[in-house]
Amino acid sequence: MAAGTSETPDRRAVRDFLESTQAGICAALEALDGEARFRGEEIARPGGGVSRPRVLEDGPLIEKAAVNFTHTEGAEMPGAATQRRPELAGRRYEAISVSLIVHPRNPWVPTCHANYRFFLADDPAGGAPVWWFGGGFDLTPYYGFEEDAIHWHRTARAACEVHSPELYPRFKAQCDAYFFLPHRNEPRGIGGIFYDDFDEGGFARAFALWRATAEAFLAAYRPIVERRRDLVWGEREREFQLYRRGRYVEFNLLQDRGTRFGLQAGARTESVLASLPPRVAWRYDWSPEPGTAEARLHEVFLRPRDWADEPLPQPS
């Protein structure tokens, strides 16, 4: 029996979970910020379905956050999605996702991104539908902290172990490979986990893994925010943050498949580009002085490391 067809997928449960994930993450981010509020809309999608972008701007802690829920129902699988699965061309399908990004104001607090998606294509012959889950989260610090990187990756690993111990190394490697800027020969950040096309163990087990990795997001991010939010920053740290945000823009517009595909497929531009940082700077041919806190980002953090296996630094 093929994986992913062993049980009837419960699309209602998937959708309910993502809707409550969006609500829960927005509420948690508002609570962290303390002042700013998400604004939201409900937008019917041309081909069927709905999208509910929610964006928070100009908070004291969070300069911009976007947490978007999208449910697409399509009469025919589009070309781009069928390259990998040509047998699905033309089938009726559903795609449900939450994607989110947080751009904090304080440069000591890292930017984070997460995405959770479910895909299902019906069998026109009345057989079992094809479905899979995808997801993950990755962290982009401006100033790195070993204990934060270790916590981030251990939380990701613990979520993956709900399913099996071999998932985390696979998903971490996929994250490192995906969030990479070839023109800079540089990772986007310290990674995390990233997976797609996941149906291993059947619906119930794959759904449980997926839920665990979604619930892990706040468990991974919130303690890091709490630890760094009161660190004092000035123009130097702000300038470095704005400069490093340029890499984020480069990745999203040059590399990210979701962004490029979304724009080409006619998705709502403001929703797709809600991930872009609120303020960004580019400087020509600049790099930090060796030995500075800014140089440590490259030297220590922007290289693949097995963070989850490292010992937590001892308090000095």
Bridge partners of 100? Answer: 67, 114
Please say which residue, 184 or 303, places its beta carbon nearer to a copy of itself.
184
User: Least distance in Å: CB of 70 to a copy of itself?
Assistant: 16
User: Least distance in Å: CB of 270 to a copy of itself?
Assistant: 5
- Residue in the block written with tokens 């699309």: 11
| CA-atom Rg of the chain in angstroms | 20
User: Least distance in Å: CB of 191 to a copy of itself?
Assistant: 21
Bridge partners of 136? Answer: 115, 194
Q: Which tokens hold the place of 59?
A: 């908070």
Please say which residue, 46 or 90, places its beta carbon nearer to a copy of itself.
46
Tell me if residue 143 falls in helix, strand or coil: coil
User: Least distance in Å: CB of 11 to a copy of itself?
Assistant: 29
User: Least distance in Å: CB of 218 to a copy of itself?
Assistant: 22
Question: Is residue 113 annotated as part of the catalytic site, yes or no?
Answer: yes
Instruction: Supply φ then ψ for residue 106, to 5 degrees.
Output: -70, 120
Q: What is the DSSP string of 44-89?
A: E-TTSEEEEEEEEES-SSEEEEEEEEEEEEESS--HHHHSS-GGGT
Residue 204's contacts (CB-CB under 8 Å, 6 or more residues apart) are: 7
Binding stretches for a copy of itself (CB under 8 A):
55, 57, 64, 66, 182-184, 242, 246, 249-250, 253-254, 260, 263, 269-270, 272-274, 276-285
Q: What is the DSSP string of 121-164?
A: E--TTSSPPEEEEEEEEEEE-SS--HHHHHHHHHHHHHHHTTT-
- Which of 113, 151, 153, 163 does the annotation list as catalytic? 113
Between CA 39 and CA 57 the distance in angstroms is 9
Q: What angle do CA 186, 133, 171 make, to 5 degrees?
A: 35
Q: Which tokens hold the place of 180?
A: 């990479």
Q: Which residues are catalytic?
A: 113
